[in-house]
Amino acid sequence: MMEKETMGKDGGLSSRDAAREPRRDDVEQRAQALLEEKDAESRTRTYHGPVGAGVTLLLCAWAAFQLYYTTFGVISAVNLRAFHCIFLLCFTFLLYPACRGERRARRLPPLRDVALMTLTCLSFGYLILNYTRIAQNGGRLTPFELAVAGVGVVLAFEAAHRTSGNLTLLAAIFLAYNWFGQYLPGRLAHNGFTLKRVLSTLFWGTQGLLGTGIGVSATYIFLFVVFGAFLKYSGFSKFINDLSLTLVGRTPGGPAKVAVLASALMGMINGSAIANVATTGTFTIPLMKRTGYRKEFAGAVEAVASTGGQFCPPIMGAVGFVMAEFLNVSYTWVMLAAIVPAFLYYLGLLFAVHFEAKRLGLSGLSKENIPDAMKVLREQGHLILPLMVLIALMFMGYTPLYAAVIAIFATVAASWLRRDTRMTWAKIVAATAEGAQGAVAVGVCCVIIGVIIGTVTLTSLGLNMGYLILSIVREGSVYTTGLLVMVMSTILGMGVPGVAAYVIVQAVAVPVLIRVGVLPIAAHMFCLIYACLSNITPPVAMSSYVAAGIAGSNQTMTGLLSVRLGLIGFIIPFFFLGNPILLVGADASASVLVSLWPAFTASIGTVALVGGLEGWFLRRCSWPERLILIAVAPLMLYPGVTTDVAGFVVLAAVVLFQRFARREGV
């Protein structure tokens, strides 16, 4: 019979389990292998000798260029995006192998990639030098300029192929739609476009490769990825893990709660669910397994916690700044709107691991395995200062870009407050280079998104998609429309980084929701959440599959369990779709305090839903009790006096019955 992994009575690991538990190095190696399989960003080349030093110098030069021209420097938007494209594509051809089997440790780049980098500089350099002249001539292009456009589009596809295979295929389908859409039936058909028109739009226009996607990458994404790298090198990740241990480590199922808190905090900064699973998961998943959680459950908890960070304030993985740009509102407004959905998402996950621990009879970690809270705050508490500076500056009215740059310098300054965390010159250079390199994969996704958005604009696909959905559902049917948009958002977001997924989805789905009467902020938040949740939605649940590999669990079971643990995330958007009171500040005419009571009742409904799903509330639940708890959830989640009263009455009956049954020993 297989032995169960358990903790000792004092919360420590038994010697039998300690001998059987794989070493931390083995877990990290497995995580790295899985990350390389699922995430192109981990398959980069490494260069030795002068070329390696030159690559580091170029990455730092790129970071300096971006920081200067997104804050103090003066440059046109088109030129900034074109230069950003040059850097992105050149670093892609320099760092990312053309095929997985290629040797990654090198002294010199392959000649074919040198040729591709040269073509990139020539094609986009020609655009920078001639864009103004062509715009003044009404967009008339010579055959040579069309050839330049064709080269630029092909280079973008090759770069995307190396960094994001799924998105490349999706972009290719959209590109083909420009010519073959005329053969489709119904509302999705169009009259067809010439090669000249398509290339002109995608390369020389501001709705294609140089459109919204690359604009987002050249500003918000780049700066916040670099900011995340600086936080990492300052020791912020260790501080988050230690702080989480001190807060919840000794409670029932403490290691799982540590995973939730640590992954949420790190996920909202780095904005990559997959990378977050592969980094924090190497620590949290084995810890959860040693505590006594099933390996599928441990993997699912890490996947769900890492995914939610992409829409968790105050940073939201940089996607909140993108949403503010699309809505033309301040980021503070977006951040406030995201508070309740993110809070309910993590509240549900925390209670899921708590109820599971109670059901299995698990304890927390022993006292000797928990760092001293005062010592953690005394030795590492200063590392939270950059985040405080960032948030304070944005609330004071400064732009997110300015706040991010100041926060980067504040990170270095804060690290110097204690000798143990001091960032040396070598660490600063390493953080700058790693941050710039980390922005490449997401940036190339934003470049190729230009093909999708350019096609949507040129063919009026977004408008036609809206008419198609409205023809399927009854006019004004918000929830039916939302259901179709949910499916579309989840599919379009599969295998795509959170920010890139949102940019794609909002271009197609947001106009549809707005047409049926949904507020713009609610429509954007709806699409954002489902685009992010595609990371845990089978069949392409990338975060769940990486977590399953680290945990050594079945991928399908881990993916399905991830959906169950994150179920509140799939449900809550429908409740603010028709009544956005759950989005704090969504209604400009109402006070922020108006959302407090609905948020409170929604929290109770979330706990009831999780209790019904996990089979535990005050004690183990019978099937009738579980069904009643699940039925109470929508009553409490829906903002309304009648539903709240009904929900409280039914829930009170369950609580009283369970208290009586527990007292009587039933």
489 burial via Cβ count (<10 Å: 0-12, 13-18, 19+): buried
Element (H, E) at 367: none
User: What is the average per-residue pLDDT within 247-259?
Assistant: 81
Average pLDDT for residues 336-355, to the nearest whole number?
A: 92
Distance between CA 244 and CA 378 in Å, rounded? 15
Dihedral sign for Cα atoms in the order 373, 379, 383, 384 = positive
pLDDT, the chain, mean: 83
Per-residue pLDDT tens over the stretch 596-630 = 889 999 999 999 999 999 988 888 888 999 999 99
pLDDT at 143 over 60: yes
Torsion angles phi and psi, residue 616, rounded to 5: -150, 135
Question: Can you tell me the distance from the alpha carbon of 157 to that of 93, in angstroms, rounded to the nearest whole number?
Answer: 12
pLDDT of residue 91: 95
Query: Residue 472: is its pLDDT beyond 80?
Result: no
The more confidently predicted of residues 664 and 139 is 139
What integer is the mean pLDDT of 130-135?
Answer: 89
For the chain, give the percent of residues with pLDDT over 70: 89
Residue matched to tokens 């009571």: 597
Q: Tell me the mean pLDDT in the region 95-113.
A: 83
Residue 650 confidence (pLDDT): 92
User: In the prediction, which pLDDT does 501 show?
Assistant: 78
What is d(CA 574, CA 522) in angstroms, rounded to the nearest whole number? 10
Backbone angles phi, psi at 46, to 5 degrees: -125, 135
Q: Is the pLDDT of residue 10 over 60?
A: no
- 63, pLDDT greater than 90: yes
Q: Is the pLDDT of residue 40 over 70?
A: no
Contact indicator for 189, 466 with CB cutoff of 8 Å: no
Pair of tokens at residue 107: 């002294």
Residue with tokens 């909140």: 320
Nearest-5° angle of CA 95, CA 97, CA 101?
145
Record the tokens describing residue 571, joined without a space.
């449900």
Residue with tokens 């992994």: 5
Residue owning tokens 């440790």: 105
pLDDT of residue 87: 96
Best mean pLDDT range from 51-55, 288-292, 317-321: 51-55
Full DSSP string of 325-361: HHHTS-HHHHHHHHHHHHHHHHHHHHHHHHHHHHHHT
Q: What is the pLDDT of residue 611?
A: 93
Residue 65 has pLDDT above 90, yes or no: yes
**CB distance 575 to 638 below 8 Å:** yes
- The dihedral formed by the CA atoms of 422, 424, 430 and 431, expressed in degrees to the nearest 10: 40
**Res 398: pLDDT:** 80
**pLDDT confidence tier of residue 318, bands split at 50, 70 and 90:** confident
User: At residue 8, does pLDDT exceed 60?
Assistant: no
Residue 16, pLDDT above cutoff 50: no
- What length is written for the chain? 666
CA atoms in the 13 A half-sphere facing the CB of 232: 21
pLDDT at 20: 46
Contacts of 47 (CB under 8 A, 6+ apart): 54, 55, 106, 107, 108, 109
Residues 544-561 pLDDT 10s: 888 888 888 888 898 899
Rounded Cα distance between 89 and 258, Å, is 39
Q: How many CB atoms lie within 10 A of CB 325?
A: 17
pLDDT digits (tens, 9 = 90+) for 413-468: 999 998 888 999 999 999 999 999 988 988 898 898 889 888 888 888 776 776 77
CB 510 within 8 A of CB 524: yes
Residue 498, pLDDT above cutoff 80 = no
**CA–CA distance, 29 with 39 (Å, rounded to integer):** 15
Per-residue model confidence as pLDDT tens digits over 562-595: 999 999 999 999 998 878 888 987 766 666 678 8
CA within 13 Å, CB half, 513: 30
Is the torsion defined by CA of 621, 625, 630, 633 positive or negative?
A: negative
pLDDT of residue 176: 93
- The pLDDT value recorded for residue 393 is 86
Which of residues 542 and 149 earns the better pLDDT score?
A: 149
Among candidate residues 347, 318, 278, 292, the one with its CA nearest the CA of residue 544: 278
Percent of the chain with pLDDT over 90: 30
